[in-house]
Amino acid sequence: MSMQPTEPGDVPAETLRVARAAFPKGSLAIRIRDELGMLFRDKEFADLFPARGRPAWSPGRLAMVLVLQFVEGLTDRQAAGTVRARIDFKYALGLDLTDPGFDFSVLSEFRDRLVGVDAGRRLLDGILTAAREEGLLASGGKARTDSSHVLSAARELGWLEMVAETLRAALNELALVAPEWLTGVADPDWFRHYATRAEDSRFPKARSKQDEIGRRIGADGMRLLQVVTAPDAPGLLRSLPQVEILRKIWIQQFHLVEGEVHHRDPKDRPPGTKRLVTPYDSETRTGSKRDLDWDGYKVHLTETCGPGDLHLITIVATTAAAINDDRMAAVVHASLSQRELLPEEHRVDTGYANSPAMVAARRDYGVELHGPLQAVNSVQSSRGDGAYGQDAFTIDWDNERVTCPNGRTSRSWAVHSSQRRMPVLLVGFSVLDCRPCPHRRDCLSTPTTQRRQITLRPRAEYDTLRQTRVLQQTDEWKERYKIRAGVEGTIAQGVQRCDMRRSRYRGLTKTSLQHQLTGAAINLARIDAWLSGTSHAHTRVSHFAALQQSEGWPVLTD
């Protein structure tokens, strides 16, 4: 299909007349068209289509349909039917009343084109650009960010199910591509064990029996990989996606011990950022947040939050579930900087807040990043007031020397790398000073430790940490930080309106497109509420809490 970009014209006169009569008070689609115009232009998507071929339905209109689809929670078939039948949708798209619309499969094809060039961000940007032109959005001010878990579209599998389904998926792909070759190399038992889905099997409850089945599946997979990679096997079989997934999962889950296949010990497996958990979505990873574990992805939402302003989502970022939040502050600020939407103050939770991120935000973007710092968890700090915590030591940065509370000075000062590959300073004291010290038990972490070592952040980060910890103890900071809680409502809106916590598609890029559309849909709904004068919902307060406020009882905080 080809595309000849056209500029959208005015709403046809008959469509305008009927829409005004049918919706005297307007609707979301009508108000958005009236106030913001046509949000997307065909030329913005010209790179998605070839120059020749059968003319495509207007991509600018299709982009608008995708966003409205998420606003109303419609399936592709329902969205196509709505364009064909609803007057307000025809009004928003500038269509004649007699326009038949398009086949519902066009939406899936258009999404694939967007995914192919990772163009989902254009949909959110189109709405933000229109809002900025109407004076509804500006840089500076305040912003807040939070993340939420996203379940994979692929069903969560137990360990035996996962390896059995991985092998079955590879056999299915080989049976489709090279049926005659597979018939010649397949073990007869494979048809009995892997012809049906693993969930239809009843695995034994005994651990010894499960281990036995696991070894059998592991051995069968090893044999399949051997014959696929044999010199006489067709070369194209090695590059098949499911065969490659089988190879990776078998490396992660099994190894040979004296010629026999054994399940790897959990400590011998790759970290969560690299470990595959399902053969049906190779980008799904296992995430963990507090007491929650899930297989899938993670979505990060950033929105403006100035008092009295329209709160709009400015950044939607989707990552693998195993990516920690502390890596995302720099990503968010870089994206906001490209779009000239950097805030002056950025409120985040503990997962994002750390000294490197705070220093980088101020240095690189002029943004003050605020979030509760994690508590100090050293052995000395947990012992109480009598312990020799890091704050009890005097640091001479210019001479690269640290003095302990008893007047002894450090003997070494070296740059090292932390477990997260961040630069740190490792300062060590002499054994000759620490061993005879009468306060040794208070200072050293264990009775067998010979000398004290201190790990310091670089000076700028260390100073930021100390200043921030002092600031966060003040009532003023706690009061100003309360504004961050509002982003929880945004996540709830995304979950309730667009089912944001469950991926509709497989793969990170498609899931990211879903979340860009979710952010665009929420923004449209908020702009419509702003234009129609709909006030924010009041924060719900329980009857007992309301009684406390009305009677003037003191509010207790931790």
Model pLDDT for residues 154-172, shown as the tens digit of each residue:
988 989 999 999 999 999 9
* In contact, 146 and 351? CB cutoff 8 Å: no
- Residue 520 CA to residue 528 CA, distance in Å, equals 12
pLDDT confidence band for 51 (50 / 70 / 90): low
Rounded to an integer, the average pLDDT of 178-189 is 92
3-state secondary structure 197-255: CHHHCCCCCCHHHHHHHHHHHHHHHHHHHHHHCCCCCCHHHHHCHHHHHHHHHHHHHEE
Tokens of 521: 């849909």
Model pLDDT for residues 281-330, shown as the tens digit of each residue:
999 999 988 889 999 999 999 999 988 889 999 999 999 999 999 889 99
Query: Residue 320 pairs with which residues in a beta bridge?
Result: 297
Model pLDDT for residues 444-488, shown as the tens digit of each residue:
878 888 899 998 989 998 999 889 988 999 999 999 999 999 999
Main-chain dihedrals φ then ψ at residue 230, nearest 5 degrees: -65, 150
pLDDT for position 290: 81
Helix (H, G, I), strand (E, B) or coil at 295: strand
User: Distance from CA of residue 442 to its chain's centroid?
Assistant: 43
In this structure, how many other beta carbons lie within 10 angstroms of the beta carbon of residue 184? 9
pLDDT for position 546: 78
DSSP codes, 428-476 = E--HHHHTT-TTHHHHSSSTT--S-EEEE--HHHHHHHHHHHHHTTSHH
Q: State the residue for tokens 């579209």.
A: 153
Burial of residue 486 (number of CB atoms within 10 Å: 0-12, 13-18, 19+): middle
* In contact, 189 and 224? CB cutoff 8 Å: no
pLDDT greater than 80 at residue 7? no
CA dihedral 37, 42, 43, 47 (to 10 degrees): 140
Kindly give, in sequence order, each residue whose CB lies less than 8 Å from that of residue 58, ignoring residues fewer than 6 positions away.
6, 8, 42
pLDDT confidence band for 366 (50 / 70 / 90): very high
pLDDT confidence band for 338 (50 / 70 / 90): very high
Kindly give, in sequence order, each residue whose CB lies less than 8 Å from that of residue 71, ignoring residues fewer than 6 positions away.
28, 497, 521, 524, 525
pTM value surpassing 0.85: yes
- Residue 383 CA to residue 198 CA, distance in Å, equals 52
- Residue 29 CA to residue 115 CA, distance in Å, equals 25
- Residue 554 CA to residue 557 CA, distance in Å, equals 10
pLDDT for position 558: 46
Helical residues (DSSP H) of 134-206, grouped into ranges = 159-177, 179-185, 188-194
- Among residues 244, 239, 1, 249, which one has the least CA distance to residue 112? 1
pLDDT for position 81: 96
Considering the chain, what percentage of its residues have pLDDT values greater than 90?
68
Q: How far is CA 397 from CA 53, 401, 410, 426, in A?
A: 68, 7, 12, 13
pLDDT greater than 70 at residue 188? yes
Rounded to an integer, the average pLDDT of 392-402 is 92
Query: Residue 303 pairs with which residues in a beta bridge?
Result: 144, 313
pLDDT for position 119: 86
Q: Which residues of 503-536 are buried (b: 16+ CB within 10 A; e: fewer)?
A: bebbbbbbbbbbbbbbbbbbbbbbbbebbeeeee
Mean pLDDT lowest among 93-102, 257-266, 341-350: 257-266
Model pLDDT for residues 517-540, shown as the tens digit of each residue:
999 999 999 999 998 888 777 777
- Residue 292 CA to residue 414 CA, distance in Å, equals 38
pLDDT confidence band for 56 (50 / 70 / 90): confident
